[in-house]
């Protein structure tokens, strides 16, 4: 009968409208609080990647942290570069350096993405 089918239809809609959102809420509530990179802001992850890269590739010469000298003179500590350059000018500088065009630096062979990450790290240095 049409009337019966109509009622089934209503109850199906009710199930979808009422139960489905409850399932979503339950799924969210039971999701573990995660600090995995997938859940964190991209900028934060870029800064971390940049720091790791800098430790690996730049820290032999440039001072990376907020204090202390560069391990190898005359390399400028990154925090001082931060002082002298805007984020954009630094990034442009990095791209030039990554291509191997800098008088005093070894060819770094960074990808554009790696240069961006290191720029993000340097930009994140809170100057004292």
Minimum distance from residue 68 beta carbon to ligand HEC (Å) = 15
- Which stretch in 8-16, 18-26, 29-37, 100-108 sits in contact with ligand HEC by CB under 6 A? 100-108
Helix axes 87-98, 112-124, angle to 10 degrees: 140
For position 118 contacting ligand HEC by CB under 6 A, the verdict is: yes
Output the 3-class SS for the chain: CHHHHHHHHHHHHHHHHHHHHHHHHHHHHHCCCCCCHHHCCHHHHHHHHHHHHHHHHCCCCCCCCCCCCCCCCCCCCHHHHHHHCCHHHHHHHHHHHHCCCCCCCCCCCCCHHHHHHHHHHHHHCCCC
Confirm or reject binding of residue 76 to ligand HEC (CB under 6 A).
yes
Query: Rounded to the nearest whole angstrom, what is the least distance from the CB of residue 17 to ligand HEC in the complex?
Result: 55
Residue 45 or residue 61: which is nearer to ligand HEC going by CB? 61
- Find the part of the chain contacting ligand HEC (CB under 6 A) among 6-14, 25-33, 36-44, 52-60: 52-60
Name which of 68 and 106 has its Cβ closer to ligand HEC: 106
60 part of the interface to ligand HEC, by CB under 6 A = yes
Residue closer to ligand HEC by CB (options 110, 125) is: 110
């Amino acid at each position: 009968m049409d009337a019966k089918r109509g009622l089934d239809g209503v109850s199906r809609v009710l199930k979808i409208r009422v139960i489905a959102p409850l399932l979503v809420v339950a799924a969210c509530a039971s999701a573990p609080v995660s600090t995995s990179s997938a859940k964190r802001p991209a900028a934060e992850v870029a800064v971390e990647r940049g720091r790791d890269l800098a430790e690996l590739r730049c820290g032999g010469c440039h001072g990376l942290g907020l204090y202390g000298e560069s391990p190898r003179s005359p390399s400028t500590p990154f925090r001082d570069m931060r002082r002298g350059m805007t984020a954009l000018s630094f990034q442009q500088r990095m791209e030039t350096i990554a291509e191997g065009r800098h008088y005093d630096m070894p060819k770094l062979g960074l990808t554009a993405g790696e240069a961006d990450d290191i720029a993000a790290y340097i930009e994140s240095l809170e100057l004292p």
